[in-house]
Chains A and B, each alone.
Chain A
């Protein structure tokens, strides 16, 4: 029960995108379609789970004053591993996410969770926190990607919902990313207000 709580916390109470407003660059940059949004979310989640677990494991042997550089090395290592394996086995996905894969390193979510959670909790809890926050991020990116793809081109995960001519291209382009996210966050604020 308590373990489920950790995941729920990351997914809803402390949703990185909608509540903490962290990691905005990939949120806007990779959500041109539901597929790329979801892939970016999963990639970030993978790195977050590994880095959270690893940082929790080494927390007692890292002196306080060098903890930030140590965390950065750990995160960057996992990001580079991900980059290499994606280049080898998922080259087209790697190309469509482009520079946002190496930039996972500077995603505030990762360093933030390392500092705020993994450095204070056990390995299992940190791992679950990674799963929860990662899922929260993935759900947010997939949702935004779905909305933009639907409004922009009339498809969801490339499945046609309505003819392309009714789509409004601006949602696939840069301005639509900002506007769609703005309305999405406002909508979630609205739901949260009503439920409490």
Chain B
């Protein structure tokens, strides 16, 4: 086995060839996977919408409506749901940056009156065993944990420590606050959607 001598030409050539091959390989893989990646993201959103909303017949993704909350930079997404022609609620995807380890993204479902029908935690980096329990905690039928069936318009969606109506996760108040903050912002996005987009329907 003879090694190539380290002349400048050899070094430039071999590195150049390796880099070109690597770049070509990556470009090919990117082309192959970009479709499935987009599809996987879309599927995740559809699954979350199906999980939080009871029944709908339209394609909520197609009628996506965006709302930028006060002080926020990225928009919240409202996915309205219709059963036939009648508006039956919406899924709202929102986030809070005040989680224990940063961003928490949740998809909430509201029925047409604004009652919470379900939620799915989409993304978080909370502590395992503590804040990470939010996916189960706020639907548990114990004490005042559950947010399901509550209406953020009438109920105080704060943790009990802050004078609200919800029992936060034990030892994870900050995660609970972030979760409920997302719920309140999502509800205001939902209300904004109702007053902006549904008013016209009501006038007719």
Contact = CB atoms under 8 A, between A and B. Distances in A.
A/B touching: CB–CB < 8 A: yes
Contact of A91 (B5, B19, B44): B44
Contact of B11 (A58, A60, A66, A95): A66
B37 A88 contact: yes
Contact of B40 (A80, A91, A153): A91
Contact of B29 (A64, A85, A91, A167): A85
Interface in A140-170: 152-153, 167, 169
B4 A60 contact: yes
A88 B33 contact: yes
Contacts, number: 83
Contacts of B58: none
The interface residues of chain A, by DSSP majority, are classed as helix
Interface residues of B, number: 30
A84 B33 contact: yes
B7 A74 contact: no
B10 interface: yes
Interface of B: 1-7, 10-11, 14-15, 18-19, 22, 25-26, 29-30, 33, 35-37, 40-41, 44, 123, 127-130
Interface of A: 32-33, 58-66, 69-70, 73-74, 76-77, 80-81, 84-85, 87-89, 91, 95, 152-153, 167, 169, 172-173
13 contacts: A58-B18, A61-B4, A61-B14, A63-B3, A63-B11, A66-B15, A70-B18, A74-B18, A74-B22, A81-B25, A84-B37, A85-B29, A173-B128
